């Protein structure tokens, strides 16, 4: 029965199911006591559904390309040292910081084809993710990967002022594909990407990113003549 109907749960990240149920239950309970408060709870439930949405993305298939791991706004592009726990010998890399507000899709995606080398979870504080010090002091999940082109890159999930849970489903030595979903941060956060110095950056500060679709850099010197697309 109903096998021909679309599965709405696939459009919502699994981390959101319990929250949507809780918000809906609260709405049901309080709507009978107060119409006004009931409407407030209803709108909160709608926002919860909206926050955990998980749409299909069209991933550009480009060798050496680095895809944005998160929706949001490019907050900064600068030369910085990656998280010390990854053991990269204190070398500077190009850091691209993408800030996510509470209305952005928070499902995170792998930025490039390759293999996961190192994972490290660092407990920390919960400063506003838009602050530069959030990269150092906030709770974070750091990932070091080697791309299919032989480059080492880093991406970091950073908790924000309201975020209280970082979900990362990656494992060390796991082979991954660009645009592949690997986790989520709730609610409001930031994702940093560290690339080798000299990498050709394709985006600018203030630009809006689409996770799994926006090409943020090219790790190879040769420009691609064309880009193919595929659903993931």
Q: Known catalytic residues?
A: 189
Q: Are the beta carbons of 70 and 96 closer than 8 angstroms?
A: no
Q: Which residues contact 156 (CB under 8 A, 6 or more apart)?
A: 82, 83, 135, 140, 141, 142, 143, 191, 192, 193, 194
Q: In angstroms, how far is CA 227 from the centroid of its own chain?
A: 23
Whole-number Å distance between alpha carbons of 188 and 129: 8
Task: Kindly tell me the burial class for residue 137, based on how many C-beta atoms sit within 10 Å of its own C-beta (0-12, 13-18, 19 or more).
Answer: middle
Kindly report the length of the chain: 232
Residue holding tokens 């400063």?
127
């Amino acid at each position: 029965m109903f096998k021909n109907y679309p599965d709405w749960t696939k459009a919502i990240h699994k981390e959101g199911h319990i929250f949507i149920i809780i918000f809906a239950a609260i709405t049901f309970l309080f709507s009978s006591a107060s119409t006004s408060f009931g409407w407030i709870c209803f709108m909160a439930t709608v926002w919860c559904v909206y926050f955990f949405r998980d749409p299909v993305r069209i991933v550009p298939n480009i060798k050496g390309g680095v895809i944005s791991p998160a929706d949001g706004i490019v907050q900064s592009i600068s030369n910085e040292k990656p998280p010390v726990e990854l053991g990269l010998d204190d070398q500077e890399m190009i850091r691209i910081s993408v800030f996510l507000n509470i209305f952005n899709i928070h499902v995170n995606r792998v930025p490039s084809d390759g293999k996961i080398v190192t994972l490290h979870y660092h407990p920390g504080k919960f400063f506003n993710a838009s602050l530069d010090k959030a990269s150092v002091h906030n709770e974070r999940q750091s990932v070091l990967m080697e791309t299919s082109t032989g480059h080492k890159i880093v991406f970091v999930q950073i908790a924000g002022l309201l975020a209280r849970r970082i979900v990362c489903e990656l494992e060390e030595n796991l082979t991954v594909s660009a645009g592949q979903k690997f986790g989520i941060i709730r609610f409001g956060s930031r994702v940093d990407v560290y690339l080798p110095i000299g990498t050709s950056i394709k985006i600018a500060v203030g630009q809006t990113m689409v996770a799994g679709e926006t090409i943020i850099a090219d790790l190879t010197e040769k420009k691609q003549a064309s880009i193919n697309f595929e659903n993931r």
